[in-house]
Amino acid sequence: MLVSVSSPDELVAVAGQLLAEHPGSGVFAFYGAMGAGKTTFIKAICRALGVTDIVLSPTFSIINEYKDLTGNSLYHFDFYRIKNIREAYDIGYEEYFYSGSYCFIEWPELIENLLPEDAVKVTITSGSDEVRNIAF
């Protein structure tokens, strides 16, 4: 599916579509250039899931944990700053990716071989003006 959005307000509806089209999926890998809107879209998905925490990119911490309205954990990864794949092993990526919890991953290119086979790939590209094209 390819969706074009021109405002952050539209993202919550697209987030709902993404989740509805992939029920039971837990791992979502977000591809896109720096500034494409990966974190912004993940914020919208978290909002759609009822997360009330402040959602920020875990650029330096690598992983942030949020809770939904029922207390379930969601994990947000940013692998941009890892130096090698060993760092993903060191944080125990398997415990997260195979936990059954939602995992939202920015910069999955850096750990591509570790992604579960059923990971949902989401690509965000910039269109004209403020338009973002989201493919999943």
DSSP state of 119: P
Per-residue pLDDT reduced to its tens digit, 9-68: 899 899 999 999 998 889 999 999 998 999 999 999 999 999 999 999 998 899 999 999
Per-residue pLDDT reduced to its tens digit, 54-91: 999 998 899 999 999 899 999 999 999 999 999 999 99
Residue 126's SS3 state is strand
Q: What are the distances in angstroms from CA 59 to CA 47, 56, 104?
A: 20, 9, 13
Q: What is the C-alpha end-to-end distance of the chain, expressed in Å?
A: 5
Across 125-133, average pLDDT: 85
CATH number at residue 126: 3.40.50.300
DSSP string covering 19-78: HHHSTT--EEEEE--TTSSHHHHHHHHHHHTT--SPP---TTTSEEEEE-TTS-EEEEEE
User: How many domains does one find in the chain?
Assistant: 1
| Global confidence as pTM | 0.92
Q: Structural domain of residue 46, as residue ranges?
A: 2-135
DSSP state of 98: T
